[in-house]
Amino acid sequence: MARTSYREALREAHREALQRDPRVFLMGEDVGRYGGSYAVSKGLLAEFGEARIRDTPLSELGFVGAGIGAAIGGARPIVEIMTVNFSLLALDAIVNTAAAYRHMSGGQFGVPVVIRMATGAGRQLAAQHSHSLENWYAHVPGLRVLAPATVEDARGMLWPALQDPDPVLIFEHAQLYNVEDELTQPSDADIEHAALRREGRDLSIITYGGCLPKALAAAEALAADGVSAEVLDLRVLRPLDTGAIAATVRKTRRALVVDEGWRGGSLAAEVITRIVEQVFYELDAPPARVCSEEVPIPYAKHLEDAALPQVDKIVAAAKRLLGR
């Protein structure tokens, strides 16, 4: 079975969507002639033409707003924002218009737009280009927020997202684009539920996005010490799959949440709150979390690594949770 990269899986997902529905088009900075900042759309302009693959000016507020308008008008736009920090320039369009439009129109209109963006740190791009702000958007009613962490989900989440009558944000961790895996027969991914990536009995590691490979590596390291760690990939950040979170914690009775966002006000905090609300009396230890340090992400590699969740930090936190 051939191996496929996360980037190639995303490209094939776009190609399939463009072929299946003439209303679908891709727009964003450098998505056409350049092939996308992360080469996701490489070759699509030659295949589908300028009407379907549209390079935009450097104005996130402008082209995200145009994508929202196109969606209201009946199209199915995929809007690519280069990195998550640039999405801040379009916050008004995303949060104050797209997310609220169904409510403000009394249910008469939806905004079936898909907005994709790279997120996360680890590439020495310093403080302005290393954000993990998924939890900001996961806070907003009216949005669906996805974080594909596997090649399979990168391939399978786009088409179901395009079928959603409301706006969907897809966060692609930049460290995942080169990750390769075997891809079985392509199929639509579940954009409603979390996914159990590893069975275990001693504690649950709950994570998403770019931290999933680290969590799996930590689980492997813990196994060498006789610790059986279960790994739950949230993958849908809004709405959170509270049932899956509660189920894994009921099974292992310990929870460790790994989140690249900063600790204060993090998605990890919300997950832990739901654990306490749902399964408090079944816990054998207080829930714990591993998050990024409370600093702007440094440029220097050794400092950047120190600021982010890493495998050794996850292993150490898990052992503390087990009283080792």
Active site residues: 60, 129
Amino acid at 97: T
How would you label 99-131 residue by residue, b for 16+ Cβ within 10 Å and e otherwise?
bbbbeeeeeeebbbbbbbbbbbbbeebeeebbb
Distance CA 138, CA 242 (A): 14
**Closest among 141, 131, 98, 136 to 270, alpha carbons compared:** 136
239 upstream amide cis, omega within 30 of 0: yes
Sign of CA dihedral 251, 254, 255, 256: negative
Distance CA 164, CA 175 (A): 27
CB 310 within 8 A of CB 319: no
Neighbours of 27 (CB within 10 A): 20
Neighbours of 173 (CB within 10 A): 26
Residue bearing tokens 């179901």: 160
CB 235 within 8 A of CB 149: yes
